[in-house]
Structure 1
Amino acid sequence: MKGLAIVLALLGSTASADTLRIATGGHFPPYIYDPETEQARGFDKDLLDEICQRGEYDCVWVDLPMNDIFQALARGDVDVVTGGFGYSSERDAIVDFTCPYVYSGESAGHFVGASPDVDLITSRIGTLDESLYLKAMQQAQRDVRSYPTEAAALDALAAGEIDVVFGSHNMVSDSEGRGGFYELGEYPTFSGGTVLGVSEDATALLDDLNDLLAKISADGTLGQLQLRWLGRDSGDTISRCFDPTALA
């Protein structure tokens, strides 16, 4: 992928029935690493590659800002969004979702601070923009500021602009690598599982994605991908989604 020129060309084009424009919201390991480069990899990259091969789709990847990714999907600028996204009723109000392909993902976010004695009620909290972590802090009526990446939020923490970062276990790992930060506990994010997003009027695509996910799950491929990237094989995950339109 060659950056902004391709993104603009894609957003101005009309995809054929056999083309999937797949959008990510940035670097979010282990689901997606380096999405804007030819070295893009991760759980969702492998999963979507499998879907594209089995569904005989011509797939093109687009990296969009987190603060526009679901709106871009709703506008029809892209066809699928992926990158470790969790289901939420707020997101479901503007787009539709597949069956969850990871149920045992995190249902809680983690607090990291520059001091072990931070007051999590009154502190200035940084989160990833347009994430369930941001929504959870807003619902809790905390003093929250959003950043384009979790790394940027940790930079703000190091600079003293905020007191705490609330985010994923990957953010915690990043903070440990930097040193000088403290893990301060967890708070629920109310995620309903990791899903792929499609626009509300793409019912045929939603059905096809759910059918492909069911096959990938039933033959063990999904479990192998989970084991490779998440460290666990949860078995036939999609069979637990008894109604394929339950989240639609």
Structure 2
Amino acid sequence: MKRLILASAALAVSAGMAAAQDVVRLGTEGAYPPWNFINDDGEIDGFERELGDELCERAELECTWVTNDWDSIIPNLVSGNYDAIIAGMSITEERDEVIDFSQNYTPPDPSAFAAMSEGVDVESGVIAAQTGTIQAGYVAEQGATLVEYATPDETIAAVKSGEADAVLADKSFLAPIVENDPELVWAGPDVALGGGVGMGFRESDPELRETFDAAIQSMKDDGTLNELIAEWDVSTQF
């Protein structure tokens, strides 16, 4: 109980420090279910929409949502088009050189290969991945032929059309696609990449990062973050 009281006090203090910012704009891709996507009503939905709304409520911040293409999501954060990224972004040393991250709000999610045949050579074949992802970096480092696409849907289409032998992406993204498409199968072993998924912030906004850090920690402490992870099946639990 004492731990929860102290966490709540820290959250209140950090929220007060961020109070000068009237509206916090949260940037997401809106094209990576179940993490974030646009629903039938044209609204941002998914695990991160629910998570972001809860974090803002706990931090007593008014938040709005902004969508942005993945390949420019970090540059547009830095240039001020929104105040934080919450878009299934894995924490990596390379990204951390440009922006600051919150603590992770999911543990590292396994990456997996999906293909039209189980026998595809994922080590030296043609592998599709979304531009600017840790999966694209992994494929390039391992020596396979990397073909990059702007959206995750395009990576799937590349495999279906024969432009790529397999796609490498978060398994939580690929799982419902493989399950519902009889032509797609898993190929090769899963790959552990990154340090979990976190929120991204400008390096000039440490107080805002600390505010959301405290809110994330409060959700970890009371178990609601694990409940949300299980509800959306985006990762293993903490």
* TM-score for the superposition, normalised by structure 1: 0.79
Distance 1:227 1:158, change over 3 A: closer
For residue 201 of structure 2, give the secondary structure of its aligned residue in structure 1. strand
2:38 maps to which residue?
A: 34
Displacement of 1:25 in angstroms is 2.1
Q: Alignment RMSD, CA only?
A: 2.3
**Separation in 2, partners of 1:124, 1:232:** 27
Distance 1:28 1:61, change over 3 A: same
CA contact (8 A) 2:123 2:143 kept: no
Asked if the contact 1:24/1:35 (under 8 Å) is kept, the reply is no
- 1:194-233 correspondence runs (5 A): 194-230=197-233
Q: Tell me, yes or no, if structure 1 residue 17 matches structure 2 residue 21.
A: yes
Match of 1:11 in 2: none
Name the residue aligned to 1:78: 82
| Residues 125 and 214 (structure 1), Cα distance of their counterparts in 2 relative to 1, 3 Å cut | same
Deviation at 1:233, TM superposition (A): 8.3
Ranges in structure 1 where 5+ consecutive residues have no aligned partner:
1-15, 238-248
Give the letter aligned to residue 56 of structure 2.
C
Return the alpha-carbon distance in structure 2 between the equivalents of residues 90 and 196 of structure 1.
15
TM-score by length of 2: 0.82
Q: Which has the higher helix share?
A: 2
Task: Name 2:163's counterpart in structure 1.
Answer: 161
Highest RCO, 1 vs 2 (Cα 8 Å, sep ≥ 6): 2
Contact 2:34 2:234 (8 Å CA) reproduced: no
The runs of 5 or more residues in structure 2 that have no matched partner are: 1-19
Q: Secondary structure at the match of 2:112?
A: strand
Aligned pairs, how many? Answer: 218
The amino acid that maps onto 1:223 is: N
1:139 to 2:141 alignment: yes
Give the 3 Å change call, closer, same or farther, for CA 233–139 of structure 1 in structure 2: closer
Residue 174 of structure 2 corresponds to which residue in structure 1? Answer: 171
User: What is the match of residue 185 of structure 2?
Assistant: 182
